[in-house]
Amino acid sequence: MHSGPGGMGMMRGYMRRSMRGHDELSKEQQRSVTRATIRRIFTFVAPFRKLLLLFMVLVIVDALVGVANPLVYRQIINVGILQKRGGVIVGFALLIAGLAVADAGLMLWERYLSSRIGEGLIFDMRTKVFSHVQEMSIAFFTRTQTGALVSRLNNDVLGAQEAFTDVLSTVVGNLISVVLTLGVMFFLSWQLTLIAIVLLPVFLFPARWLGRQLQAITRESYSLNAAMNTTMVERFNVAGALLVKLFGRSRDEDQSFADRAGRVRDIGVKQAMYARVFFVSLMLTASLATAIVYGWGGLLTLHGALSVGTLVALTAYLNRLYGPLTALSNINVDIMTSLVSFERVFEVLDLPPMVGEREGATPLPRGPAELAFHHVDFRYPMAQEVSLASLESIAVAEHAGSENAVLSDIDFTVRPGEMVALVGPSGAGKTTISQLIPRLYDVVAGAITINGTDVRDVTLPSLRSAIGVVTQDAHLFHDTIRNNLLYAQPNATDADLREALRGAQILTLVDSLADGLDTVVGDRGYRLSGGEKQRIAIARLLLKAPDIVVLDEATAHLDSESEVAVQEALRTALAGRTSVVIAHRLSTIREADQILVIEQGRIVEHGTHDDLLATGGTYAELYRTQYLRTQEVEESPASLMKLKDGSAILEENA
């Protein structure tokens, strides 16, 4: 039997599509698909319009071949068998074989074209979404759930692809098949055709209800699977696994995972049973219709009102009628599901980046840099400004307090080669200031300039290449030391890499490793100690050779020996460069050309170390309560022996 768009294969295909759910489908289905959305969809399909046209022609031809088969059976019986004409039988048998070969070729050709169109569409949409997401501000990533964003690149893009390879071919193929099948059936026997389709409403209405139930179950299944997968992702990364072990919660985690996996199992059983009931109901209805046609048609055949071949052809057509009709009765669900995928992809593409290049932006010239903040005000953007509720694991309406200023009237200048240190209590706004320099965020008022040029007027690549940043938790990719360094300078030679490692005080360690530069650092660099990871990050910064360096607590959470090594590396990194440093170490702050004391988003004091101590203000109090205690510990004889290589620094600080 032909297995094209109208056969039982399509009935199974429809069943699979009806089971295909979609996150938030119940809400999204209620939204009307605007003409603008349709036009936008066709802009993505435009590069494939010739292939798509050929694909649709093949689908139509395939449907015609399927409809022709029962007519050939009819002729074999009526003209060949009943009239005992062997030549006719052989001729029509060869025709059936030829149609089968042609149909096989058509299906292969269809599959090739659908793959070309579908995979091409997936590639175009994924690359466009990925590129757009890369342009989003850091605020977008602080709110977005990574899994939800990845889902847009995978599940939703796949759903959009199905709109043009699966659903579209099904709609056209089924329409052609139903029209031709009904036309031929009415031509052969309008009485039997009417009887055959009388049973259809008996199945269609329950089928529509069952289809909706299957979609609801499938959506719940997706949600439960997502929760189970989230558990695995969080517990299988290094930090999650370490936390579980340190708190001794392995058995609790086993039970929690078993509970979630159990819900996935239970919904899977429920889904399988609903699907089986759906399929059995369809088969039962088709079988009952076949029984009626054979019963009444058999009687008509006995009385000479109907030929045997016609009866056989009619029953063959029945198998080609119920599947397509059922699929078309629910096709709006399939189409809306696929179109919703497009809308969800467009939702991401339509979210404008908060930080972008102005029209006419020019490259920032490299060289000695003067950095200046001119009465800068800043507040963090609210959720609706940077993200989508559907991309956040928990979306909560923010109150008006989110509009409060984080920085107010920040005004200072760092001349070429100078270092400014930012000090103040946690949450004062120090890190926010450092993030404004490379335009991770944009100021709300005022301006930040480099050599007199507003950073918003220069191209982002040139700005980012001129600025190097090292944070207290430097990120390393799960890759080799070599590739992590080459991320800063892809054209660097091994000699360049070794020189950067030497400047970062870690070349000796790297050379001692069995694989040297080809050592894999592990997820987020977890195979390295904190000090080693920081020095690799500093080596990466040295390779980048920026004009401005930003250090955000780069030595925080390090032991004394690692801190001394990192400080030595930082001396190399900062030499001759304009730098802004957030640090707690006394030596760094003492050496600063200017110290800014930040409180509640404002500069409350500024000056040199000695000047600020002399004023007896906030800095002097911080110094007495924190830094002076650190100095006393470090300058004790025991500490001097322990620090070894740090003795020179301590003497200088003294």
Verify that 335 and 418 share a domain, yes or no. Answer: no
| CA 84/CA 80 separation, integer angstroms | 6
Residue 18's domain is classified under what CATH number? Answer: 1.20.1560.10
Verify that 385 and 331 share a domain, yes or no. Answer: no
Residue 359 lies in a domain: no
φ, ψ (nearest 5 deg) of residue 404: -65, 145
pLDDT tens, position by position, 371-426: 999 999 999 887 767 766 666 654 444 433 345 788 999 999 999 999 999 998 88
pLDDT of residue 123: 86
Element (H or E) spanning 268, and its range?
helix 250-302
Q: Which domain holds residue 621?
A: 371-653
Verify that 613 and 643 share a domain, yes or no. Answer: yes
Q: What is the dihedral of CA 496, 497, 498, 504, to 10 degrees?
A: 110
Residue 365 lies in a domain: no
Verify that 315 and 385 share a domain, yes or no. Answer: no
Residue 313 lies in a domain: yes
φ, ψ (nearest 5 deg) of residue 409: 50, 50
Q: In what order do the strands lie in the sheet with 407-414?
A: 407-414, 371-378, 445-450, 453-454
Residue 1 lies in a domain: no
Verify that 477 and 602 share a domain, yes or no. Answer: yes
Element (H or E) spanning 337, and its range?
helix 331-349
Verify that 249 and 140 share a domain, yes or no. Answer: yes
Q: How many domains does the chain have?
A: 2
DSSP 556: T
Q: Within 10 A of 276 (CB to CB), how many other CB atoms are there?
A: 11
Residue 361 lies in a domain: no
pLDDT of residue 375: 95
Is the separation of the CB atoms in 348 and 134 below 8 Å? no
| CA 323/CA 319 separation, integer angstroms | 7
pLDDT of residue 219: 63
| CA 590/CA 572 separation, integer angstroms | 17
Q: Within 10 A of 221 (CB to CB), how many other CB atoms are there?
A: 19
Cα-based angle 67, 69, 70 (whole degrees, multiple of 5): 85
- Residues of the chain under the 50 pLDDT cut: 1-33, 394-402, 635-654
Residue 363 lies in a domain: no
Verify that 485 and 533 share a domain, yes or no. Answer: yes
Verify that 393 and 441 share a domain, yes or no. Answer: yes
| CA 389/CA 395 separation, integer angstroms | 5
Residue 557's domain is classified under what CATH number? Answer: 3.40.50.300
Verify that 98 and 161 share a domain, yes or no. Answer: yes
Q: What is the pTM of this model?
A: 0.70
Residue 362 lies in a domain: no
Beta bridge partners of 207: none
Residue 203 lies in a domain: yes
Verify that 315 and 388 share a domain, yes or no. Answer: no
Radius of gyration of the chain (CA): 35
| CA 330/CA 216 separation, integer angstroms | 15
pLDDT of residue 416: 94
Verify that 305 and 162 share a domain, yes or no. Answer: yes
pLDDT of residue 188: 86
